[in-house]
Amino acid sequence: SKGLWRRLAKMDFNVSFPRDKRYSDALAQTLINESEGILQWMADGCAVWQQRGLEVPEVMAADLATYELSNDPIAQWLESSCECGPAWEAKSTYLYLNYKAWCSLESMQPWSVTAFGRALATKGIGTRKSHGVVVRVGVTLKQHAVIH
């Protein structure tokens, strides 16, 4: 759900320190000598946080969006196989069959038709009936994604 993703912060730490540089008595003494400045830096940062709130750096927001997409197979399928927009529509059955075929190609277990439909609805893709057939409104298959 979007509530979960609003509360997550993904922070990569891409630096590693050689074992012999991780701790030394000199580092400990430097931290002790700089402790007043470090405490002031922390207090200043806390004051800014209380005034403006937590500002997520762009790189972290982009990383989280990528991580969210990698954990959302419906979004991945939509991105690779579909066009989305108010003018588009497609038979629900065709979409689900294409999704199942895509899952097979991606070595993924497809969601049930019910879960698939609910996931599409959360992404703003509606439904309507046309001559007794359920049609999804706001999405169609890309030409290359049509599986015969």
Rounded distance, CA 146 to CA 81, Å? 8
pLDDT at 148 over 80: no
pLDDT band at 147 (very low <50, low <70, confident <90, very high): low
Partnered with residue 99 across adjacent β-strands are none
Q: 141, 128, 25, 10: which is closest to 78 by C-alpha?
A: 141
Mean pLDDT across the stretch 61-75? 86
Q: 141, 8, 24, 44: which is closest to 83 by C-alpha?
A: 141
Mean pLDDT across the stretch 111-133? 94
Rounded distance, CA 95 to CA 89, Å? 10
Q: Can you say whether residue 136 is alpha, beta or left, with left for phi > 0 and alpha for psi between -120 and 50 degrees?
A: beta
pLDDT in tens, 6-39: 777 777 788 888 887 777 888 889 999 999 999 9
Q: Please, are residues 127 and 135 in contact by the beta-carbon 8 Å criterion?
A: yes
The pLDDT of residue 1 is 59
